[in-house]
Amino acid sequence: MSISTQDIESIVKKIVNEMTGTASCNGGALEIPVGISNRHIHLTKEDLETLFGTGYELTHLKDLSQPGQYACKETLTIVGPSMKAIEGVRVLGPLRKASQVEISVTDSYVLKVKPPVRESGSLTGSSPITIIGPKGIVKLSQGCIIANRHIHMSPDDATRFGVKDNDYIDVDAMSGTKRTRWFDVQVRVHKDFRLEMHVDTDDANAVGFKNGSKVTVVKD
């Protein structure tokens, strides 16, 4: 069976889209790949040195989907006010201006904390949490959150979707085993972002998602 020029162009376009994270089209509906975010920690340089020792530097483990972001070999223990702990929480790089712990609702039950659902970096009034490392302890008076559902987009992607930075949209999670709709998903636009929606493990498990599953934007 011969392959037409149109078939070849379609195959090439699909491969390029998958490699670059560009929105794919399914029956006219724009799809967005999903990345599942497990509990993790962001640290300042000062807190890193308190936890691991003066002059310590993070050890790169693997790159994450967003350019410049990476998982580190270092893991830490987090402890809630009731002294309940979760061990082996991964540190992500690079270093930040404020230390932050992102967990799921399920984790909050274990830790006995009540963190707000927030955009990453929005820490004012968030829950206190203690971080234990091999060389020291950091007690955050605020900094523990449940990350909101959000979508990373480049400016070109934003134009394609007809949205702008900090818009909120609805998406259908139809490719999992329990179809559902997620409302009020925050759009975050930056020239360095790669198209991807981020959800936590609770959301992913609720609909049977894996990394690379797709959501579809709900059109008005």
Can you give the pTM of this predicted structure?
A: 0.84
Is residue 76 a contact partner of residue 41, using CB atoms and an 8 Å limit? Answer: yes
- Asked whether the predicted pLDDT for residue 160 surpasses 80, the reply is yes
Each domain of the chain, given as residue ranges in start order, spans 28-36+149-217, 38-146
Position with higher pLDDT, 178 vs 91: 91
Is residue 43 a contact partner of residue 99, using CB atoms and an 8 Å limit? Answer: yes
Pick the closest to residue 115 from 43, 105, 137 (CA basis).
105
The DSSP secondary-structure symbol of 176 reads S
* 21 confidence band (pLDDT: 50, 70, 90): very low
- Rounded Cα gap, residues 12 and 25, in angstroms: 14
Query: What average pLDDT does range 214-218 have in this prediction?
Result: 95
* 106 confidence band (pLDDT: 50, 70, 90): very high
Task: Give me the amino acid identity at 155.
Answer: P
Query: What average pLDDT does range 157-173 have in this prediction?
Result: 96
Reported in sequence order, the residue ranges of the chain that DSSP labels E, i.e. its strands, are 24-26, 29-37, 40-42, 60-63, 70-79, 85-93, 100-102, 117-118, 127-132, 137-147, 150-153, 168-173, 180-189, 196-200, 214-217
What separation in angstroms does the CA of 20 have from each of 85, 108, 211? 39, 35, 15
- Rounded Cα gap, residues 9 and 121, in angstroms: 42
Specify the CATH number for 28-36+149-217; select among 1.25.40.10, 3.40.190.10, 2.60.40.10, 2.40.40.20: 2.40.40.20
Give residue 212's region: left, alpha or beta (phi > 0; psi -120 to 50).
left
